[in-house]
Amino acid sequence: MKHSQSTGLIISMKNLFSLFLLLISFFSLAPASAQDISLGLQFVAGGFSIPLLVTHAGDGSDRLFVVQQRGRIRILDANRNLLGTDFLNLGSTGLDRVSRSGSERGLLGLAFHPNYAQNGRFFVNYTLRSTNPNLDGDTIIAEYQVSPSDPNVALPTEKIILGPIDQPESNHNGGHLAFGPDGYLYIALGDGGGGGDPYNNGQNKNSLLGKLLRIDVDSPPQAYAIPPDNPFAGAIPGADEIYAYGLRNPWRFCFDRLDGRLFCGDVGQDTYEEIDLIQKGDNLGWRIMEGMHCFPDYVACATAGLVYPINEYGRDLGISVTGGYVYRGSSYPSMYGKYLFGDFESGRIWALEETSPGTWDRTELLDSNYLISSFGEDEAGEVYLVGYGNGVVYQLIDNAPLPTRTPTPTVTVTRTPVPTPTETPLPTVTATPTSPPSSGVSNWKVY
């Protein structure tokens, strides 16, 4: 009796101790609030000429690929040294495929096949340079391949997958493309330009403009096939390639590595910038709505069936959203699970987090001095930022000391000045009278 009592006491002491350990681990693993992040931008590499994108090949090489608007794709090796030779040059000094002018034209997107390590296939989205005025500026989705003998050089042979897709104006080309967790290629196209979607492309299900497309590029000998569950596949009225519609100028989308959810920044017209969480078949509202408001805001509109953004901001905070990434890296646990995005013109960077299902909370992390043309990820899920005007790639870091980690003295904010880009950013396209004044270099704030 006595013996079992003392055993019972020992067990309960052990349980208490376990509970104590559990509580400690719970609190140290509890997700940090975005307010706790002290965001810093750590210099990675500079010397790029109007860069638009940074991404990785997913091949285990730990390289970063930096896309320049005028057509060059450059490589940072695993030590973040810039290689002297281009991976691919689609610009005027190379294959000369890409528009040489137009503030929103150029080489706009790059995506590596999910099996790139085995098949060497990658895809680009660009606007075409052509002496034929009917083709000049049209969108091309094309496939290239890495050289079998040199992993840092691509072969010059182009296979056109989709296009030329007619672009009625020089602006609103969209341009991002990425493979989803389903293995299909997703392609973002803007509404074709002008101001206020004069052609009503966003809501026209027979046009590829103002859409997110989804195609299957693994169906030889066809250039591509239609995923059978695309919302307008086959006999269903509407273009077979469409995955979602009602977009204005989607500028950068991503898939959350954890759950595959698709986040997209859609650049606004006159008043609101928005972040969308896109599902198959969604009508994201443009040009009926801008952000969460009827467009224009003095008219009544029918909102039934339209999918609202999960977040919006007005002209007090920026004028051209740049969609980012859900942080799933391991270096900065405070950022884990937060969607990091920014504004091209104001340089502000925010974290968006879902505090309860369907409720999104936005926190400003930094008001930077950079023209943020893109965010990007490396293979490990660390997140980067591309400075368009100064030609620099930065890594997003957290300078705040973490209770569960030893502070690392090397983590500091670095804003190293870099040489002026060799190409000057192009002037803004003509603004409509209703547009807000533009400060400095404007690009995707488009009218």
91 neighbors 71 (Cβ within 8 angstroms): yes
Give the residue with the Cβ less far from Ca ion, 242 or 371: 242
Give the residue with the Cβ less far from Ca ion, 240 or 273: 240
Give the residue with the Cβ less far from Ca ion, 52 or 212: 212
Q: Report the DSSP beta bridge partners of residue 159.
A: 143
Shortest separation between residue 217's beta carbon and Ca ion, angstroms: 19
Give the residue with the Cβ less far from Ca ion, 308 or 336: 308
Give the residue with the Cβ less far from Ca ion, 301 or 431: 301
Give the residue with the Cβ less far from Ca ion, 103 or 269: 269
Residue with tokens 């599902």: 279
Shortest separation between residue 348's beta carbon and Ca ion, angstroms: 20
How many helices (H) does the chain have, and how many strands (E)? 2, 26
Residue 4: phi and psi, rounded to 5, are -65, -30
Q: Position 246: which residue type?
A: G
Q: Report the DSSP beta bridge partners of residue 214.
A: 186
Shortest separation between residue 240's beta carbon and Ca ion, angstroms: 5
Shortest separation between residue 247's beta carbon and Ca ion, angstroms: 7
Shortest separation between residue 238's beta carbon and Ca ion, angstroms: 5
Write out the H or E segment, with its range, that includes residue 48. none
Which spans in 73-187 are helix H? 116-119
Residues within the interface to Ca ion (CB under 5 A): 232, 236, 240, 284-285
Distances (CA, A) of 55 to 75, 381, 383, 404: 10, 10, 10, 30
Shortest separation between residue 309's beta carbon and Ca ion, angstroms: 5
Write out the H or E segment, with its range, that includes residue 29. helix 2-29
> Could you tell me the maximum CA-CA distance found in the chain, to the nearest angstrom?
98
Give the residue with the Cβ less far from Ca ion, 135 or 239: 239
Shortest separation between residue 398's beta carbon and Ca ion, angstroms: 31
The encoded tokens of residue 223 equal 């250039």
Cβ of 172: how many Cβ atoms within 10 Å? Answer: 31
Residue 118: phi and psi, rounded to 5, are -95, -40
Give the residue with the Cβ less far from Ca ion, 209 or 386: 209
Shortest separation between residue 236's beta carbon and Ca ion, angstroms: 5
Three-state DSSP at 51 gives strand
Nearest residue relative to Ca ion (C-beta): 285
Q: How far apart (Å, rounded) are the C-alpha atoms in residues 318 and 314?
A: 7
Which spans in 94-137 are helix H? 116-119
